[in-house]
Amino acid sequence: MAALTDDPRFAATTFVVIDFEGLTPAGRPAEPIEVAALALCTRDGRLVETGRFEDLMRPPADVPVTARDVQLKGITQRMLTSAAPAAEVIAQLEARLTTPPYRLVAHHASAEARLIARQSEHCPVLAATPLLDTLRLAKAVVPGLGSYGLDSLLGHYGIPKPAGRHRAMPDVEVTAQLLIRLLDDGCAGGRWSTLLELDMAAGLQPTQPPPAPDAEQEALF
């Protein structure tokens, strides 16, 4: 990854790998019930973890957890009863994002982008942050795979599937591992050496303008 970490813009950027788990009621957008984020910064020529956040979120009362949701995600209605609502939890994550520049990173990032956009009132920094999509990075680095789903890419790279697959933090942890492998392979193949080239290959631009910085906030990510 040396070519990328030599790029001043890349080296100055914090990459926040993010994942939401949600419920999808009929005829309505998905309601988030869990979020996890893991911050990666350049240290000594490699990306290392510098912070993490995770929490459950209580959905609206008219959005139940179905048996299929429990089977897939392992999150029950009882687990969510005492959780804070999404607006409060996402605002808590937002409060940690005080030292830009950032890139959000997600697998199939458009889904995360849509959810963040619906919560933009509570997370203006998140809503104004560009994303990198590991699915699109993978298509550039490993063309011709039959599937670019997260499980398929974990298998391709020999990254063990986590026991808590489909929970937010386990998914974030393996997506971070996948990101590093894709960046390494892309550098080795001459596909990118700058943050701009990453943005061109797999970037999603935000729809919200950046908020004014608050100089009094403490940097936590």
pLDDT in tens, 140-190: 999 999 999 999 999 999 999 999 999 999 999 999 999 999 999 999 999
DSSP track, the chain: -HHHHTSHHHHHPEEEEEEEEEE--TTS--EEEEEEEEEEEEETTEEEEEEEEEEE-BPPTT-PPPHHHHHHH---HHHHHTSPBHHHHHHHHHTT--S--EEEEETTHHHHHHHHHHTTTT-HHHHTS-EEEHHHHHHHHSTT-S--SHHHHHHHHTPPPPTTTTSHHHHHHHHHHHHHHHHHHHHHTTS-SSHHHHHHHHEE--SSPPPPP-TTSPP--
Is it the case that residue 217 has pLDDT exceeding 80? no
Mean pLDDT of 39-68: 96
What are 99-138's pLDDT values in tens digits? 999 999 999 999 999 999 999 999 999 999 999 999 999 9
pTM of the model: 0.93
